Amino acid sequence: MTAVAPPRTATPARRKPRLMARAPQDTPAGFWTYLFLAVTLLFAAFPLYWMFVIATSNDEALAKLPPAIIPGDRFMTNVDEVFSLQDVYFAASLVNSVIVSTVVTASVLFFCSLAGFAFAKLRFKGSSALMLFVVLTLTVPNQLGIVALYIVMGKLGWNGTLLAVIAPGLVTAFGVFYMRQFIVNTVPDELVESARMDGATTMRVYANIVLPAIRPALAVLGLLTFVATWNDFQWPLITLSGTDFPTSMVAVSDLASGNYVIYRRVLAGAFIATVPLLVMLFIGGRQIVRGIMEGAVKS
Amino acid sequence: MSTTRAAPASSSHRSAPRRGRSGGDDRRLTWRNRLYRFDMRYMPYLMIAPFFLLFIVFGLFPLLFNAVVSLRNYRLDDPTLPYWAGFANFSKLVGDEDFWNALYNTFGIFLLSSVPQLLLALVVASLLNRRLRAQTWWRVGVLLPYVTPIVASTMVFSVFFSRDFGMANWVLGLFGLGGPDDPIDWRADKLHSWIAVATMVNWKWIGYNALLYLAAMQSIPRDVYEAAAIDGAGPWKQLWRITVPMIQPVVLFTVILSTIGGLQLFTEPMLFDPNAQAATGGPNGEWQTIAQLIYKVGWKDLNLGYAAAMSWALFLIILIVAGINYVLTNRLSGGRK
């Protein structure tokens, strides 16, 4: 599309300056680039593939050399065992993970886009100071307050319930920051102003103008939030372990506890808990890639 | 009455609905006026309120309250102790061998994971920064580890790094290292367990960091490369002399991110241990990290006050290390012109 500009420094050299002068992103990838990328991809995918291999095998697959690399035929047997283990609550855990991730994602999308809109397009006292606060909290690792969070949840009586896992995730500073950036760049001031002139309230502007315009950003933030919430382990482990109400990550770790760990079960459970995310990556991969790359340039 | 009221707020008058009917309805007008003023003045605060309320209650308050807890005797198994502990938790920390051991492990694993992670990410990014067929799919592909739950991948790597039939030892055996006669016990000593845990961290984050670098690489002006090519710089030289200095802000960003994440490492060391519930990171704490020790002290030994003190120590350590890394990276990546 963008035609390569002819070399202005007119040295009609023999060493093909036109090719040399290309930026990397304009240079077609050669054999070695594809080869190295293919190897990279192999490394990225192999543990996932192998998880499936063991999830479909019997115990012997793990006790031989060279290691098994072809899937077996016992997937359903292993899955049955995982679901029927008494104190793991695997089926319930999948439902719980869906509930937690869905509620958290919906809440993050709503509250963060609302706040992002206010910071991007509305004038109010203290808005820049408050936005600075949001940016500063981006870097605070809130895992460090985990002890006090446990005490707070204890006072509320929420420990051991899904509420304890959901509540801390309902909003994120990153979400507000990301939404604000996107709205600043994509929603024209004039559009907001003219809607105002027509007597639209702020919420109506949000619903009728902002929301339709930021659908791509909602998709990105939604996918990133869902993945992060689904995969969260430390806090759910602390507040939910030992209950009959774990998330799927806690349930998978329960599969691996005990004196004698049966890895074909563990990996069958792990595989089931991973599949939803692989599906999301397959469907929304483009959005996830874009979200990560946009976040990089802006921050 | 209504006219005098409406007069100063002429702007609101203009934007009041012009739907024709009920123009003369005074009550309606004042109501709408009020609504309008409320909407302009207070609605923005209402819109940001949920974020701030939730964030303060579940994010900021716990962080600050942690400081109070760290000064208290907060044992879940012994509520009879005096309320305040003063700085007893902190002075205990200084002499706690477990803490120093965990700190040592955390730094060891951090070094083995962050440096290769970011260097390899740079290489992958420069590979992705070519004109590729099916470009999107390569980028999605390197994100496979990023979406995979750490819990799931750690289980796989735990099997890879088993002593007798592990994939890692088998592969090393192909190159004449270790081998089935003299297999490496990856859980027996610090260095090997650190390598195993660091491998998991590297696997997870290389693709993600590569995309961050790629984004920055693509915003480098093209004529910079033109000049370099005319100077005769090859691709490798271009990467180190042009690309890295040009994407330095993102490099700094990833260094800070991996410092914050790496020093709080929890899931990988936790589940690498076959006896994960104990949270000891190996029989003798070979790979127990600070985050893991905080979990053990708080929820296995039930000493929340001491765990809170440790969290604060970790917070300080993260601040210091992030600062040092910032300065170091700044020098290394920008200084070589």
Say whether pLDDT at B136 is over 70: yes
The answer, for B74 touching chain A at a CB cutoff of 8 Å, is: yes
Phi and psi, residue B69, nearest 5°: -60, -35
Rounded distance between C-alpha atoms, residue A72 and residue A49, angstroms: 12
Say whether pLDDT at A10 is over 60: no
Indicate the residue of B128, B150, B208 with minimum beta-carbon distance to A233. B150
Q: Are B270 and B102 in contact (CB under 8 A)?
A: no
Verify whether the Cβ–Cβ distance B39 to A285 is below 8 Å.
no
B263's enclosing H/E stretch is: helix B248-263
**Mean pLDDT of the residues in chain A:** 87
Whether a cis peptide bond, with omega within 30° of 0, leads into B62 is no
B28 exposure class (CB count in 10 Å sphere: 0-12, 13-18, 19+): middle
Rounded distance between C-alpha atoms, residue B300 and residue B279, angstroms: 8
**Host domain of residue B31:** 2-41
Q: Are A89 and A251 in contact (CB under 8 A)?
A: yes
For residue B157, being part of any structural domain is answered with yes
Verify whether the Cβ–Cβ distance A44 to B144 is below 8 Å.
yes
- Taking only residues 76 to 95 of chain B, the set having a beta carbon closer than 8 angstroms to any beta carbon of chain A reads none
Distance from CA of B177 to the nearest CA of A (A): 15
pLDDT, mean of residues A88-101: 94
Q: Are B296 and B178 in contact (CB under 8 A)?
A: no
For residue B48, being part of any structural domain is answered with no
Rounded distance between C-alpha atoms, residue A122 and residue A109, angstroms: 19
| Both structure tokens of A263 | 């890895």
Q: Give the helix ranges, DSSP H, for B148-247.
A: 150-160, 167-174, 190-217, 222-230, 235-238, 244-246
Terminus-to-terminus CA distance in chain A, angstroms? Answer: 29
B3 exposure class (CB count in 10 Å sphere: 0-12, 13-18, 19+): exposed
Domain chopping of chain A, boundaries: 99-244+284-298
The answer, for B134 touching chain A at a CB cutoff of 8 Å, is: no
Give the CA count within 13 Å in the CB-facing half-sphere of B76.
13
Judging contacts by C-beta atoms under 8 Å, the chain A residues touching residue B226 are 7, 21, 23
Say whether pLDDT at A7 is over 70: no
- Taking only residues 139 to 198 of chain B, the set having a beta carbon closer than 8 angstroms to any beta carbon of chain A reads 139-153, 155-160, 164-165, 167, 170, 180
Say whether pLDDT at B233 is over 80: no
Q: Are residues B195 and B133 part of one domain?
A: yes
For residue B72, being part of any structural domain is answered with no
pLDDT, residue B238, reads 80
pLDDT, mean of residues A94-123: 96
pLDDT, residue A24, reads 79
What is the tens place of the pLDDT at every residue in B197-217? 999 999 999 999 999 999 999
Burial B135-167 (b: 16+ CB within 10 A, else e): eeebbbbbbbbbbbbbbbbbbbbbbbbbeebbb
Rounded distance between C-alpha atoms, residue A254 and residue B155, angstroms: 12
Q: Are residues B104 and B14 part of one domain?
A: no
Say whether pLDDT at B162 is over 60: yes
pLDDT, residue A23, reads 77
What is the tens place of the pLDDT at every residue in B51-67? 999 999 998 899 899 99
For residue B296, being part of any structural domain is answered with yes
Verify whether the Cβ–Cβ distance A152 to B149 is below 8 Å.
no
pLDDT, mean of residues A259-275: 91
- Taking only residues 112 to 141 of chain A, the set having a beta carbon closer than 8 angstroms to any beta carbon of chain B reads 112, 114-115, 117-119, 122-124, 127, 130, 134, 137, 139-141
The answer, for A210 touching chain B at a CB cutoff of 8 Å, is: no
- Best of B146, B156, B212, B289 to disrupt the A interface (most A CBs within 10 Å) is B156
Q: Are residues B118 and B15 part of one domain?
A: no
When pLDDT is cut at 50, 70 and 90, the band that residue A297 belongs to is low
Determine the CATH number of domain A99-244+284-298. Answer: 1.10.3720.10
Verify whether the Cβ–Cβ distance B15 to A231 is below 8 Å.
no
Q: Are residues B168 and B249 part of one domain?
A: yes
**Mean pLDDT of the residues in chain B:** 86
Q: Are A263 and A67 in contact (CB under 8 A)?
A: no
B225, B227, B232, B233: CA torsion to nearest 10: -40
For residue B60, being part of any structural domain is answered with no
What is the tens place of the pLDDT at every residue in A27-39? 888 899 999 999 9
For residue B50, being part of any structural domain is answered with no
Say whether pLDDT at B7 is over 60: no
pLDDT, mean of residues A64-89: 87
What is the tens place of the pLDDT at every residue in B67-118? 999 998 888 877 788 878 888 899 999 999 999 999 999 999 999 999 999 9
pLDDT, residue B15, reads 44
The answer, for B31 touching chain A at a CB cutoff of 8 Å, is: no
Verify whether the Cβ–Cβ distance A137 to B260 is below 8 Å.
no
Say whether pLDDT at A14 is over 70: no
Q: Are residues B231 and B140 part of one domain?
A: yes
Say whether pLDDT at A125 is over 50: yes
Say whether pLDDT at B127 is over 50: yes
The answer, for A263 touching chain B at a CB cutoff of 8 Å, is: yes
Terminus-to-terminus CA distance in chain B, angstroms? Answer: 74
Phi and psi, residue A269, nearest 5°: -60, -45
pLDDT, residue B263, reads 94
Indicate the residue of B51, B58, B214 with minimum beta-carbon distance to A167. B58
What is the tens place of the pLDDT at every residue in B39-52? 888 899 999 999 99
Distance from CA of B288 to the nearest CA of A (A): 15
Verify whether the Cβ–Cβ distance B229 to A48 is below 8 Å.
no
Q: Are residues B195 and B103 part of one domain?
A: yes
For residue B327, being part of any structural domain is answered with yes
Verify whether the Cβ–Cβ distance A47 to B203 is below 8 Å.
yes
For residue B56, being part of any structural domain is answered with no
Say whether pLDDT at B223 is over 90: no
The answer, for B288 touching chain A at a CB cutoff of 8 Å, is: no
SS3 of chain B: helix, strand, coil, percent, to 5: 70, 0, 25
Rounded to 5°, angle at Cα A45 from B172 and A231: 110
What is the tens place of the pLDDT at every residue in B101-114? 999 999 999 999 99
pLDDT, residue A115, reads 96
Using alpha carbons, select from B259, B280, B267, B276 the residue that is nearest to residue B153: B267
Helices B43-55 and A127-137: angle between axes, nearest 10 degrees: 20
The 3-class secondary structure across A109-144, one letter per residue, is: HHHHHHHHHHHHHCCCCCHHHHHHHHHHHCCCCHHH
* ipTM for this prediction: 0.87
What is the tens place of the pLDDT at every residue in A181-216? 999 988 999 999 999 888 888 999 999 999 999 999
Lowest mean pLDDT segment, chosen from A287-296, B154-163, B191-200, B311-320:
A287-296
In chain A, the percentage of residues whose pLDDT exceeds 70 is 91
Domain of residue B174, CATH code = 1.10.3720.10
When pLDDT is cut at 50, 70 and 90, the band that residue B309 belongs to is very high
- How many domains is chain B partitioned into structurally? 2
In residues, how long is chain A?
299
A169 → chain B, closest CA residue: B58
